[in-house]
Structure 1
C-alpha cells in the first residue's frame, strides 16, 4: 500500500522538468505536454473501447502479447499469424475502426509541430493498455509504409521506462522515464530507431488505476 500511495501523490506534485528535451536530432521528449487534455483523452479512450474493446493479440510466432491494444482512425494495426499490418476494418468486430477523436488529432499535430514536424496529419492511432509486468520488446515502427512522417506517443497513468535504442537491434539503449502526460516524438533520421518498454511496475495512479495507457499516432501510406 505504501508504494501505491506514493504513486498517487506523484500525480499531485508539480512537474519541474523542462518543457522540451532533445533526445536526438529528430527525437524530442515533451514532459507533461498532454496533461491539460488528459481527462478529455481518457473520455475519448472510453468511448473508443466501447466500440473496439482492448484485446491481446498474438504475434506471428504464436505468442500472446502482454499489452492489450485497440485502435481508432482510418487505419488500425493488427498482428496475426500472417504478420503485422494495418487494416481499415477491425478483424475482431468486422467493423471499421472508430473515428479518431478531434482531441487526439489536435494533440498529435501540436506535439509534432513543437518537435519540428509541422506537416504531420495522422491517419492511424494505436492505444495500448499496460498492466503491471506488461512490456514491449525492442522493435521498429516500419509497417506504415512511410518513414517520412514521425511517430507521436502519449503516456498516461503509471510510469514507464522507455528503451531508446539505435538503428540496429544490437545498439545500446538509453532508459527514459515516462510520466503521466508525457509525449515523445521521433522522426527524420531517428524514425526507425529501435525502442521498447520495460515491464511496468505495479502501482496505482489517480487517473488510470493499475494501468498505463499509451496512445501513439502514425501516418500510414495508402
Structure 2
C-alpha cells in the first residue's frame, strides 16, 4: 500500500511538473521578445513638429472601391500629418514600447509592434490587459481618432453601407526593408463588433507595401494592390473579415520630404485602427 501511495504521489508530481512545463513552454512561445529602444528617423534630421495631425485633407483624395465595404483613399493623409504621426510614434519607439511579436509556431517576426488604447498581440489577442513590462498602453491621441473618423465619414459618402466606428485600439507596425506579414484575418475584436462589420482603418506611412487580399486563403487567388505613403485602406461591412497580408516592402518609394527633410528611415509604418 505504501509503495502504491508513493507511486501515485510520484506520478502526480510528474504530471503536475509536466503540465507546468507545458504551460511554461506555451508562455515562452507566446512571449514578446524584449527589444531595446530604437529610432524611426536619422538623428541628424530630427525635427519636432508643433502638434499631432494638426491638419486634415481639405477635400477627398482619389479613391478606389476594391470590394463591397472596402475602399482605398489614395494619398489621403497630408505630408504634414504624416510627419506628425512619425514623431508621435518616434517618442514611443525611443521609450522602448515597440516589440517583436513572434508566432505561436516559434517563427521569428521581423515586424515590430506597439499599441495605443488597448494591449493586443497576434498570439493572445486582447487577453492581456498589460504589456510585458507591466504598463498599460498609452491612449490613442485624439487627433488620430479625429483623422480616422474623418476618413470613415468620407468613405461613407461613397460606400453607403459602411458602418461608423469609434477606434479604441491602434496597432502600430514597423516594417524593416525585409518585413512582411503572413495571411490572416482581423478577428480578435468582440463578437458584436465583428457582427456589425465595424471597419478596420489602416494608414500607411513610408515605403510602399505590396498588399494581398481576398475571401480565400489560397495565395494564387488573392488580389494585389500597392499601399503608398499617405494611403488609407478601409474594410468593413461585408469585407470586414477578408484575408490579407503584406507580401513585401519596396525600398526607396517613400515621399522625398519624409526622407530628405525629416530623415525617415527607408522603412514602413502602418497604423491600424479598430473598435473592440
Instruction: Give the TM bin, normalised by the shorter chain.
Output: 0.7 to 0.9
Once the two structures are superposed, residues 14-51 of structure 1 have per-residue CA deviations (whole angstroms, 9 ceiling, x without a partner) of xxxx6121111100000011125212211211223344
Q: Which residue of 2 aligns with 1:112?
A: 152
Q: Which residue of 1 aligns with 2:142?
A: 102
Does the CA contact (< 8 Å) of 2:92 and 2:98 recur in 1?
A: no
CA–CA distance in structure 2, aligned partners of residues 154 and 42 of structure 1: 12
RMSD: 1.9
Does 1:163 pair with 2:163?
no
> Secondary structure in 2 aligned to 1:85?
coil
Does the CA contact (< 8 Å) of 2:208 and 2:253 recur in 1?
A: no
Does the CA contact (< 8 Å) of 2:110 and 2:180 recur in 1?
A: yes
TM-score when normalising by structure 1: 0.82
CA–CA distance in structure 2, aligned partners of residues 212 and 201 of structure 1: 9
Q: Which residue of 2 aligns with 1:122?
A: 167
1:22-33 matched pairs, under 5 angstroms? 22-33=65-76
Q: 1:76 aligns with which of 105, 116, 119?
A: 119
Does the CA contact (< 8 Å) of 2:116 and 2:171 recur in 1?
A: yes
Does the C-alpha gap of structure 1 residues 30 and 195 become closer, same or farther in structure 2, counting only changes over 3 Å?
A: same
Give 1:169 shift.
1.1
CA–CA distance in structure 1, aligned partners of residues 163 and 224 of structure 2: 27
Does 1:62 pair with 2:106?
yes
Does the CA contact (< 8 Å) of 2:69 and 2:238 recur in 1?
A: yes
> Secondary structure in 1 aligned to 2:125?
strand
Once the two structures are superposed, residues 55-92 of structure 1 have per-residue CA deviations (whole angstroms, 9 ceiling, x without a partner) of 1111111112121111111x12124xxx331143212x
Query: When you count helix as a share of all residues, which structure comes out higher?
Result: 2
CA–CA distance in structure 2, aligned partners of residues 132 and 164 of structure 1: 21
Does the CA contact (< 8 Å) of 1:20 and 1:29 recur in 2?
A: yes
Does the C-alpha gap of structure 1 residues 106 and 98 become closer, same or farther in structure 2, counting only changes over 3 Å?
A: same
Unaligned runs of 5+ in 2: 1-60, 157-161, 259-263
Q: Return the structure number with greater relative CO, CA threshold 8 A, min gap 6.
A: 1
Structure of larger gyration radius: 2
Query: When you count strand as a share of all residues, which structure comes out higher?
Result: 1
Unaligned runs of 5+ in 1: 1-17
Give 1:200 shift.
1.4
Does the CA contact (< 8 Å) of 1:133 and 1:201 recur in 2?
A: no
Does the CA contact (< 8 Å) of 2:212 and 2:244 recur in 1?
A: yes
